[in-house]
């Protein structure tokens, strides 16, 4: 169910201006990973099939950055525009 996918974004080990966009199911099962690279002129590229256009991952990246939640462990549902707190925080 693609509509139920949630995403989390963190700094990538691949480079300083690269970010890992991780797709998960509602049950936090990994569902794939894309990489967003931000060029010095702020242009973003994404490794997904639609990455040459303004894909949903780039939109999500901006949502994460605006919320200051990159690398925070927060997850985001693009389709329902809902945030989910880090799993570790729920266990406390």
Applying CB under 5 A, which residues contact Zn ion?
A: 46, 48, 51, 55, 57
Q: How far is the CB of 9 from Zn ion (least distance, A)?
A: 11
Nearer to Zn ion, 31 or 86 (CB): 31
- By residue count, the chain amounts to 92
Helix (H) or strand (E) holding 23: strand 18-24
Nearer to Zn ion, 6 or 48 (CB): 48
Q: Give first-to-last CA distance, the chain, whole Å.
A: 30
Helix (H) or strand (E) holding 83: strand 82-84
Nearer to Zn ion, 60 or 69 (CB): 60
């Amino acid at each position: 169910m693609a509509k139920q996918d949630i995403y989390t974004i963190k700094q990538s080990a691949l480079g300083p201006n690269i970010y890992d966009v991780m797709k998960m199911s509602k049950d936090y099962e990994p569902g794939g990973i894309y990489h967003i690279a931000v060029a010095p002129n702020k242009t973003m590229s994404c490794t997904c099939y639609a990455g040459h256009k303004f894909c949903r991952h780039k939109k999500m990246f901006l949502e994460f950055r605006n919320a200051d939640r990159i690398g925070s462990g927060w997850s985001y549902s693009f389709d329902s525009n809902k945030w989910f707190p880090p799993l570790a925080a729920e266990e406390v």
